[in-house]
Amino acid sequence: MFSPKDKQDKLIRATDLDALSCRDSINKKGHLPVEDPYIAMLVKSYEDNLRWCQGYTGLSAPRTLRNVFGETKQPLINRGTYLRSKVIFEIIHSFIAEFRNESQIISLGSGSDTKLFSILELNHDITVHEYDYPESAKIKKLAILKHDKLRHTLRVEEGEDQTATMPTIQSKKDFEIYEPDLHTRNYHLHGQDLRDVNNLDITGVDTNKPTLVLSECALCYLSAHDYEKVVNFWSTIGHNLTGFLIYEPITLGDSFGEVMLRNLQGRGLHLPTSEAYPTIDSRIKFLTSMGLENLYLTDMGVVGGYEATHAAKNNPWISELEMKRLNGIERIDEHEELALLLRHYCLIYGESKKENQSLSFNSSSGLNPSSNTASGSNAHLKPVFTGISRWDWSRNVKDCSLD
């Protein structure tokens, strides 16, 4: 039976197809400084396996893929996708460099995103965890197992995972019973609902490493209560720095934001947190209420160079030379329209120094009760990510009233 919850989850998963098609577009057009070979592998896995997913058939799946990938993306969409991909990649890379590769990246709602494959290719000593719905994880796992380059990058052959062999999927039943998780030496794919924090599998998570938790348009589909529940879960399991890097829409309470919400609602999608906290200032209050600190926030208009702040002139997110390269590929004429679009997406970084003193980590069996945990008295010894301040952020907790 296809329940209302199943229908809603299918609609949210469909946004991952949209995002993949946008990344595929900028990859093919040459917007990315280095071509991403993994994007085509995920596209192929969707072509092979979407028909097995709940709510799709052998007829509807190809039609959906043709509609999504057959559409030529507007230059505005390509530029926005590029800016998002570029700056998030750079922040992750800077985080890893600051902590000398002894770090951990946890991606919530990772879907078909491939940037962490490229990150692992460049940084062999980090650990990566990706979480998403089981069906989305299965499609990614099948892509990994099918392609030798991905198997090599993720060190599949070095792992002891008995499910790391390419299966034969010939029916919806085969796909339904297929195990979504994959665990290798430094890559872990978890097919789970992010909201179910009481049963979340954290196999392979090292709570002693500096950790960056990434959410790109994932938490925004949760209620404010579930959003807070997920952030609190990841805030309290570690004994080291836990940073959160979040990219998501903001409505700003204006007419453009209202149109954006109506368009999403027309597709059956809702952004509860964006509706409740429509501006960057209100978002700061929401995040600080969860205990996040060292907050840095900006909208993508600043990232794209459409808001001339003093810091932006001295240290822009995108260099003049890079902008010249981009304009050579695809020139933007609708600057006002692009600036308006970008201002309705925000980029957030914040840190948690909370920790759950009743738990410690055992890599073979997960979190277990222990009395030998880090005490609250040394919580102040947790490091901070100093490199985050080198970019131009339009807001932080020091210059925004929290009254």
Sequence-distant (6+) residues with CB within 8 A of 33 are 322
> What span, in angstroms and rounded, lies between the C-alpha atoms of 273 and 200?
22
Q: How many C-alpha atoms does 394 have within 13 Å on its Cβ side? A: 18
Other Cβ atoms closer than 10 A to 272: 15
Q: Is residue 193 a known part of a binding site? A: yes
The owner of tokens 């069996």 is 365
> What span, in angstroms and rounded, lies between the C-alpha atoms of 81 and 76?
9
Retrieve residue 159's tokens.
Answer: 């792992």
Cα-flanking dihedrals φ and ψ of residue 186, to 5°? -135, 20
The owner of tokens 């209100």 is 282
- Cβ 393 vs Cβ 296: under 8 Å: yes
Q: Is residue 326 a known part of a binding site? A: no
Other Cβ atoms closer than 10 A to 226: 17
Q: Is residue 71 a known part of a binding site? A: no
3-state secondary structure of 325: helix
Q: Is residue 262 a known part of a binding site? A: no
Q: Is residue 268 a known part of a binding site? A: no
What residues form the annotated binding site for S-adenosyl-L-methionine? 84, 109, 193-194, 216
- Which residue ranges are tagged as binding site? 84, 109, 193-194, 216
